[in-house]
Amino acid sequence: MAVKKTIAVLTSGGDSPGMNAAVRAVVRSALDKGIEVYAIYEGYQGMVDGGEGIRKMNWDSVSGIMHRGGTAIGTARCMPFRSREGRMQAAKNLLKLGIDSLVVIGGDGSLTGANIFRQEWPDLLAELVSSGAISKKLAAAHPHLTVVGLVGSIDNDMVGTDMTIGADTALNRITDAVDALSSTAASHQRTFVVEVMGRNCGYLALMSALATGADWAFIPEHPPESDNWEDDMCEMIHAGRKAGRRETIIIVAEGARDRSSKPISSSYVKEVLEQKLGQDTRVTILGHVQRGGAPSAFDRYMSTVLGHAAVDNILAADAEKEAQLIGMRENRIHPIPLMDSVEKTHAVAKVIDEQEYGKAVEMRGGSFKEALKTFRTLSQALPRPPKKGQKRLRLGVLNASAPAPGMNTATRAAVRLGLDKGNTVLGIENGFQGLIDGEIKEMGWMDVEDWAWMGGSELGTNRKMPSGGELYAIAKNVERYRLDGLLIIGGWAGYEAARTLYNSRDQYPAFNIPTICLPATINNNLPGSEFSIGADTALNSIVAVVDKIKQSAVASHRTFVVEVMGRYCGYLALMSGMATGAERVYLHEEGVKLKDLQKDVNNLINDFSQGKRLGLMIRNEYANAIYTTPFMCALFEEEGGDLFSVRQSILGHLQQGGNPTPFDRIQATRLAARCIEFLIENTGQEEAQAAFIGLEGGRVQLHPLEDFSRMVDAKRGRPKEQWWMQLRPIAKVLAQSGPRKQND
Ligand code: ADP
């Protein structure tokens, strides 16, 4: 039996999208465990003020907030909390309500404040007792303050967590804005200098530059290398224009500087471009737009998982020992000592101030460094000339399966990185059909200029599975076009086709070339990768539509059954359910039984008769072949009687469309870069390697193609192991309409 605790949650410092989902998760996870929970309004100010500043929460207090940006419980900067007297007042107010555990959602300032408060707690209590403000008994009942921190910051500037709450949304906002600016810039052949947030951290600037195919980025950790950077930049931009670029986009982090720490402002960059190149240049400072708006699917899901983990952490036996920070590392929850993380974060800022830039980039971690390198190559005006005596390889790239947003981004990266390494890249049109028909063309640097942000598949894609005589035609074309390697960017059908070629090597020696598959499908149903390219975009599209559907029914007593794609993989259904607060998610992995439906009907009837106004069920398209979406709607409608009506919404192909999200673009680029390296490394071997690539625990991993059948449930077309299945209990706890009794 856990120690009895009373928890309070607050948001402090700068607001960030996703804070609401975290608050909701903390409140509901606590209530589910039978723990009293309070929200502190307006950051530490509410704690110092007491009274209405600290309010008891029930299940419904946090309904309908997850999709909203900002923080529903308010945030503030609070001067009094910086003083001991202020914190004394705060301790008194907490103790009055028996609160001895805090979940603080904020930046490094807020978390530092929380840790100071925690350290002082015993002394503050002793003083309160001696002044007669509280009784000895009350103080003795709460000898420690337990503190758990979650990082709310759009900058993604905290060491110890791969992502902070709000960073993904901010990146989405920036990417949308830069995409929009690019199109108008191209029309007028203009240059835009875009300033983004990030005082000490270039994450938003670098990742948005990578995701939008910008021409240049200024970030604090990596100032331009030469003292003459103005000339270098102008030369590069001039060369780009000469090569055919119609617009120029330059991203400047607000904390950008040169090697001697002199700030590089967006207005200075504009001045340089106008004076040296005579270009029509505009400055756009994105400002608070980056902070605002509905949180992305990722921010909702991650904040939910973190909020849930924060409550678990408070209840852990050794919670009082040290303040903890709950972050995400390699796609898993990662608790670390809070002050370790704060100190390391400050250390990066110090290293930047001391102009040790190489060290600063190192401290940001491997994927930051890799992104910087890749960005610098992709943004070149033209490929670097091949090395002397280097064999020019001929690498084929094709898209296969249904379109997935991000296919173009991956293709662009593969083409440019392949060319930059001195090779010829051949684009194969229309998937494997194009390889059969010989629709193969040499790709130039500028052919893929705008592909970073474009949805769909410019090369063309389909589900063609080659067989019989078609294999002969493919072998002929591989020989005719002298392909030295093949990159297949696609989903299940693409992987299957790659396997067919691999398994026919004895019959067709032409197939004995390095071959690699890059996961690109919205279904996220491929082995060896926790995320496939396109799934994040589809998830965000689903979430945006479901938000609207929910709004449409605000005044009517209605239940929606929303059907999402995924084939036999429930990823989109579960994750969108978590991100939209659906009460029920139907997955093929779990099966749908009549007794489940009976229970769901009972829950709906119960909840609607107690005042519920909106029901939301999300169903994977193949959840059950008999209990279809129309069947379930009819069942709920009939049983709901006058209490509620039911509508179905089958989302369909909108899920495959749209421009890729920054996450999909960044990962597509990362994976494509590794694929090209793989093809180059593996040429010239007697037995050519064939593999599939993916992201596992946040890292790029390769698996031999031979492992495919071992790793999948072939009948269902999905991996045997699906990491996200472990999130189901959290989804279940948070989705219900209130804490239910065990046998309910
Ligand atoms: P962020 O949390 O986003 O970094 P701030 O640094 O402005 O934002 O901190 C938010 C609030 O946290 C401050 O207004 C103050 O109330 C509290 N705080 C920050 N630093 C400290 C500190 N060293 N001691 C006590 N409270 C602090």
Q: Distance, CA 112 to ligand 1 centroid (Å)? A: 7
Residue in the block written with tokens 């179905």: 648
Asked whether residue 274 carries a pLDDT value surpassing 50, the answer given is yes
Q: Is 107 in the pocket of ligand 1 (CB under 6 A)?
A: yes
Q: Distance, CA 26 to ligand 1 centroid (Å)? A: 21
What is the mean predicted confidence (pLDDT) over 59-64? 92
Please report, rounded to a whole number, the percentage of residues in the chain having pLDDT higher than 90: 89
- Between these two residues, 735 and 737, which has the higher pLDDT value? 735
| Three-class DSSP category at 36 | strand
- Between these two residues, 366 and 321, which has the higher pLDDT value? 366
Q: What is the pLDDT of residue 319?
A: 67
Other beta carbons within 10 Å of 653: 9
Q: Distance, CA 13 to ligand 1 centroid (Å)? A: 6
Spatial CB neighbours of 548, under 8 Å, sequence gap ≥ 6: none
pTM of the full predicted structure?
A: 0.96
Asked whether residue 576 carries a pLDDT value surpassing 60, the answer given is yes
Query: At 553, is the pLDDT very low, low, confident or very high (cuts 50, 70, 90)?
Result: confident
| pLDDT tens-digit readout, 363-412 | 998 889 999 999 999 998 888 888 888 899 999 999 999 999 999 999 99
Instruction: Spell out the alpha helix ranges (H) of 33-147.
Output: 44-49, 84-96, 108-130, 136-141
Spatial CB neighbours of 743, under 8 Å, sequence gap ≥ 6: none
Instruction: Report which residue type is found at 210.
Output: L
Q: Distance, CA 365 to ligand 1 centroid (Å)? A: 26
Q: Is 81 in the pocket of ligand 1 (CB under 6 A)?
A: yes
What is the mean predicted confidence (pLDDT) over 208-226? 95
Asked whether residue 113 carries a pLDDT value surpassing 90, the answer given is yes
What is the mean predicted confidence (pLDDT) over 185-211? 93
Query: At 2, is the pLDDT very low, low, confident or very high (cuts 50, 70, 90)?
Result: very low
What is the mean predicted confidence (pLDDT) over 408-417? 97
| pLDDT tens-digit readout, 693-721 | 999 988 999 999 999 999 999 999 999 99
Query: At 744, is the pLDDT very low, low, confident or very high (cuts 50, 70, 90)?
Result: very low
| pLDDT tens-digit readout, 629-673 | 999 999 999 999 999 999 999 999 999 999 999 999 999 999 999
Q: Is 166 in the pocket of ligand 1 (CB under 6 A)?
A: no
Q: Is 116 in the pocket of ligand 1 (CB under 6 A)?
A: yes
Euclidean distance between CA atoms 355 and 221, whole angstroms: 9
Domains for the chain: give ranges and CATH numbers.
6-164+294-329 (3.40.50.450), 167-290 (3.40.50.460), 394-533+661-712 (3.40.50.450), 542-658 (3.40.50.460)
Spatial CB neighbours of 162, under 8 Å, sequence gap ≥ 6: 327, 328, 329, 330, 331, 365, 698
Q: Is 150 in the pocket of ligand 1 (CB under 6 A)?
A: no
Task: Return the residue whose CA atom lies nearest to atom 15 of ligand 1.
Answer: 78
Q: What is the pLDDT of residue 555?
A: 74
Q: Which residues are catalytic?
A: 155
Please report, rounded to a whole number, the percentage of residues in the chain having pLDDT higher than 70: 98
| pLDDT tens-digit readout, 597-609 | 999 999 999 999 9
